[in-house]
Amino acid sequence: MNIDELCQTATAMVQKGKGILAADESTGTIKKRFDSIGAESTPDSRRDWREMLFRSGPAMSQSISGVILFDETLRQSAVDGTPLVELIRNTGAIPGIKVDMGAQDMANFAGEKITAGLDGLRHRMKEYYDLGARFAKWRAVIEIDAERPSMACVAANCHALARYAAICQEASIVPIVEPEVLMDGGHDLDRCYEVTEGTLKHLYMELFTQGVMLEGTVLKPNMIISGKKCNTRAGVEEVAEATVKCLKSSVPASVPGVAFLSGGQSDLEATAHLSAMNAGGALPWNLTFSYGRALQAAPLAAWCGKSENHDATQAAFNHRAKMNGLATLGKWNEGMEG
């Protein structure tokens, strides 16, 4: 474990004005997104799509601190032969890798999930470091309704996150720990707060038990937000206030930063909520973004799988990255979206 390298990398990932691009969609997930715009999903088309984003100069150099990659992408090279990892590094951003093997049904607990991927992870970490990855991501899925999650689900997922984090740090790779309380369903903001706070407190107990150095980690949580089917959706200020309150009650100040997932929010919602949090005054940690769809939906719609839309695609990505970069400073407003 290189403690100095871990701390420097984690701090750089959550620096003010920048955030993380989540470009780690599995082959199945990215095929669904390509299907929605009538584009074929092949190794070359996936490479071309991501290369367009990584070559978007203003976004990558000014607003993106790191990029989470899928295993396939970490090993790919651009059309001109330059490894995609090198393209990312040349912009000043840090390459990362998704290492979990996805959420699977949890035995004895119908409707709940446990994330797989711990077997063989130590060997894969060494290979990923050699390939250029300096941080990793592991996502736990927490279903929420009146009865769920069970304590067993929270405990199992937090334990797995902590074991993954310890293996990452052993290989001098910064772990992003992602316990996502889903925003599906009809739960209200208070129920989301209750489940998220309990999950985060259990997570940090497990991280402490596993000897994880918090200064060399990044937290990627959901925001405290009403479920998609809730009849009374909370407003921007209410979401921002509840999220900051929840973090203050459960996340140690030694964590350098929190990079929120967008979790099904619209582009503007994700940006507005983040900006409102950062406009509220000094906090123990930097609050930034680790968005996938909320950064890629607009450029994907501009691209439509056609090479002639290259410039429009990059312009859309540059814009969304800039807006979210401003949100990390609390300086975004809707008038900038014109």
Q: What is the pLDDT of residue 168?
A: 98
User: How far apart (Å, rounded) are the C-alpha atoms in residues 167 and 173?
Assistant: 9
Low-confidence ranges of the chain (pLDDT < 70): none
Write 304-313 long-range contacts (CB < 8 A, 24+): 304/37, 304/38, 304/39, 305/34, 305/37, 305/38, 305/39, 305/40, 305/45, 310/52, 313/52
pLDDT digits (tens, 9 = 90+) for 240-290: 999 999 999 999 999 999 999 998 899 999 999 999 999 998 999 999 999
What one-letter code names the amino acid at 186? G
Q: Please tell me the distance from the alpha carbon of residue 63 to that of residue 159, in angstroms, as a whole number.
A: 33
Instruction: Please report where in the chains the tokens 């000094």 appear, as a residue.
Output: 282
Distance set, CA 292 to CA 113, 132, 199, 209, 211 (Å)? 21, 21, 23, 31, 30
Structurally, the chain folds into a number of domains equal to 1
Do 83 and 33 contact (CB within 8 A), yes or no? no
Q: Give the span between the Cα atoms of 255 and 282, in whole angstroms.
A: 15
Task: State the number of CA atoms in the 13 A half-sphere of 21 facing the CB.
Answer: 29
Show the 3-state SS of 207-269.
Answer: HHHCCCCHHHCEECCCCCCCCCCCCCCCCHHHHHHHHHHHHHHHCCCCCCEEEECCCCCCHHH
DSSP helix, strand, coil percent of the chain (3-state; round to 5): 50, 15, 35
What range defines the domain where residue 272 resides?
3-337
Provide the token pair at 164.
């993954």
In this structure, the chain runs to a length of 338
State residue 1's pLDDT score: 79
Q: State the Cα–Cα distance between residues 291 and 34, nearest whole angstrom.
A: 18
Residues with a catalytic annotation lie at 178, 220
* Domain CATH number, residue 326: 3.20.20.70
Token pair recorded at residue 133: 């990855």
Site of tokens 């040349």: 90
Cβ atoms within 10 A of the Cβ of 117, count? 17
User: What is the model's pTM?
Assistant: 0.97
pLDDT of residue 217: 98
Give the Cα separation of 10 and 15 in Å (integer): 9
H or E segment and range at residue 279: none
Residue 218 pLDDT: 98
* Cα 193–Cα 195–Cα 198 angle in degrees, nearest 5: 100
Q: Are 278 and 327 in contact (CB under 8 A)?
A: yes
